[in-house]
Chain A
Amino acid sequence: MKVRPRFVVLAGVLLVLALGVATSRVAAEHPDAALGGGDLAESIIQVGAAVAAAAAGLRMALDRGLAACGMLLALTGLAILLAQLPAQDSGSASLFTAALVGAQLAPFLAGSAALACPVVPVRRPDWAIIAVSLAVAVVIRGLLSAAVFDPQAAGCFTCPANLVEVRSDPGLYAALGQWGLVLTIVAGVGLAARAGWRLARAPRILRLIYAPIVVGGMAAALLAVAAAVHTLPLPTPEIDPALRTLWLAMCCCVAVMAGDVAAGRLRAGWLAGKVSQAVLAALPDPESLRRALADSIDDPDLALVFLRDDGTVVDADGVQVSGADHELAVIRVTRADSAVAEIRYRADLAGASHQLMAAVRAGGLAIEHVAAGARLRAELADLARSRQRIVELGDAERQRLERDLHDGAQQRLIALQMLLQMASSAASPPLNASYTTARKAVGAALEELRDLAHGIYPAALADGGLRTGLVTLAETSPVPLVIDGPGPGRTPAAVEAAAYRLVADAVRIAGQAASPETITVTIGGSADRLCVRLSAAGLDQAAGEQIVAGARDRIVALDGSVTLATTHAKTTIETAIPCGS
Chain B
Amino acid sequence: MRVVIAEDMALLREGLTRLLDEAGFDVVGGAGDLPGLLELVNKTAPDVALVDIKMPPTHTDEGLQAAAIIRERHPDTGVLLLSSYLESRYASSLLESHPASSGYLLKERVYDPAVLADALERVYAGQCVVDPAIVSQLLSRRRQRGPLDELTEREREILALMAEGHSNHAICGQLVISPRTVESHVRSVFMKLGIPESSDSSRRVLAVLTFLQA
CA distance A472 to B18 in the complex (A): 35
Q: Which of B15, B60, B142 has a CB less than 8 Å from the CB of A418?
A: B15
Q: A414-B110, A472-B89, A516-B142 are in contact. Are A463 and B61 (CB under 8 A)?
A: yes
CA distance A412 to B84 in the complex (A): 12
- Determine if A422 is an interface residue (Cβ-Cβ < 8 Å): yes
CA distance A450 to B84 in the complex (A): 8
Q: Which of A406, A446, A477 has a CB less than 8 Å from the CB of B142?
A: A477
- Determine if B108 is an interface residue (Cβ-Cβ < 8 Å): yes
- Determine if A546 is an interface residue (Cβ-Cβ < 8 Å): no
A463 in contact with B60 (CB, 8 Å): yes
Chain A residue at minimal CB-CB distance from B145:
A480
CA distance A443 to B54 in the complex (A): 20
Most interface-central of B12, B54, B142, B143 (chain A CB within 10 A) = B142
- Determine if B9 is an interface residue (Cβ-Cβ < 8 Å): yes
Chain B residue at minimal CB-CB distance from A459:
B85
Q: A407-B54, A421-B111, A443-B108 are in contact. Are A414 and B84 (CB under 8 A)?
A: yes
A478 in contact with B61 (CB, 8 Å): no
Minimum CB–CB distance from A107 to chain B (whole Å) comes to 89
A406 in contact with B141 (CB, 8 Å): no
Main secondary structure of the interface of B (DSSP, over half): loop
A479 in contact with B111 (CB, 8 Å): no
- Determine if B86 is an interface residue (Cβ-Cβ < 8 Å): yes
- CB 8 Å contact bits of B134-155 with A (1 = contact, 0 = none): 0001100111100000000000
Minimum CB–CB distance from B60 to chain A (whole Å) comes to 6
Which residues from A are CB-within-8-Å of B84?
406, 410-411, 414, 446, 450
B18 in contact with A422 (CB, 8 Å): yes
Which residues from B are CB-within-8-Å of A414?
12, 84, 107-108, 110-111
- Determine if B187 is an interface residue (Cβ-Cβ < 8 Å): no
- Tell me which residues from 59 to 88 in chain B have a Cβ below 8 Å from any Cβ of chain A: 59-61, 84-88
- Determine if B176 is an interface residue (Cβ-Cβ < 8 Å): no
- Determine if A415 is an interface residue (Cβ-Cβ < 8 Å): yes
- Determine if B206 is an interface residue (Cβ-Cβ < 8 Å): no
Which residues from A are CB-within-8-Å of B195?
none
- CB 8 Å contact bits of A445-488 with B (1 = contact, 0 = none): 01000100000000110011000100110111111101000000
CA distance A475 to B141 in the complex (A): 6
CA distance A464 to B110 in the complex (A): 26
Q: Which of B107, B110, B137 has a CB less than 8 Å from the CB of A475?
A: B137
Which residues from A are CB-within-8-Å of B172?
none
B141 in contact with A476 (CB, 8 Å): yes
Which residues from A are CB-within-8-Å of B111?
414, 417-418, 420-421, 439
Chain B residue at minimal CB-CB distance from A462:
B60
Q: What interface size band does chain B fall in?
A: 20 to 34
Which residues from B are CB-within-8-Å of A410?
84
A460 in contact with B144 (CB, 8 Å): no
- CB 8 Å contact bits of A88-101 with B (1 = contact, 0 = none): 00000000000000
Which residues from A are CB-within-8-Å of B85?
459-460
A478 in contact with B112 (CB, 8 Å): no
Which residues from B are CB-within-8-Å of A439?
111
Minimum CB–CB distance from A303 to chain B (whole Å) comes to 50
Minimum CB–CB distance from B119 to chain A (whole Å) comes to 15
Which residues from A are CB-within-8-Å of B15?
415, 418-419, 422
CA distance A204 to B117 in the complex (A): 96
- Tell me which residues from 533 to 564 in chain A have a Cβ below 8 Å from any Cβ of chain B: none
Minimum CB–CB distance from B82 to chain A (whole Å) comes to 9
CA distance A450 to B133 in the complex (A): 14
Chain A residue at minimal CB-CB distance from B15:
A418
A474 in contact with B141 (CB, 8 Å): yes
Most interface-central of B16, B108, B143 (chain A CB within 10 A) = B108
Which residues from B are CB-within-8-Å of A421?
111-112
Chain B residue at minimal CB-CB distance from A410:
B84
Chain A residue at minimal CB-CB distance from B54:
A407
B89 in contact with A471 (CB, 8 Å): yes
Chain A residue at minimal CB-CB distance from B7:
A411
B9 in contact with A417 (CB, 8 Å): no
Q: A418-B12, A463-B61 are in contact. Are A480 and B144 (CB under 8 A)?
A: yes
Minimum CB–CB distance from A325 to chain B (whole Å) comes to 48
B144 in contact with A482 (CB, 8 Å): yes
A411 in contact with B19 (CB, 8 Å): no
- Determine if A403 is an interface residue (Cβ-Cβ < 8 Å): yes
- Tell me which residues from 113 to 143 in chain B have a Cβ below 8 Å from any Cβ of chain A: 137-138, 141-143
- Determine if A518 is an interface residue (Cβ-Cβ < 8 Å): yes
Minimum CB–CB distance from B141 to chain A (whole Å) comes to 6
- CB 8 Å contact bits of B141-171 with A (1 = contact, 0 = none): 1111000000000000000000000000000
Minimum CB–CB distance from B25 to chain A (whole Å) comes to 15
Q: A417-B111, A422-B19, A482-B144 are in contact. Are A472 and B87 (CB under 8 A)?
A: yes
- Tell me which residues from 385 to 420 in chain A have a Cβ below 8 Å from any Cβ of chain B: 403, 406-407, 410-415, 417-420
B12 in contact with A478 (CB, 8 Å): no
Which residues from B are CB-within-8-Å of A482?
144
Residues of B within 8 A of A (CB): 9, 11-12, 15-16, 18-19, 54, 59-61, 84-89, 107-108, 110-112, 137-138, 141-144
A-B contact pairs, 28 of them (CB 8 A): A406-B84, A413-B108, A414-B108, A414-B111, A415-B11, A415-B12, A418-B15, A418-B110, A421-B112, A422-B15, A439-B111, A446-B108, A450-B84, A459-B87, A460-B85, A460-B87, A464-B89, A472-B87, A472-B88, A475-B88, A475-B138, A477-B142, A480-B142, A480-B143, A480-B144, A482-B144, A516-B142, A518-B144
The 6 closest A-B pairs by CB, nearest first: A421-B111, A418-B15, A418-B111, A417-B111, A415-B11, A415-B12
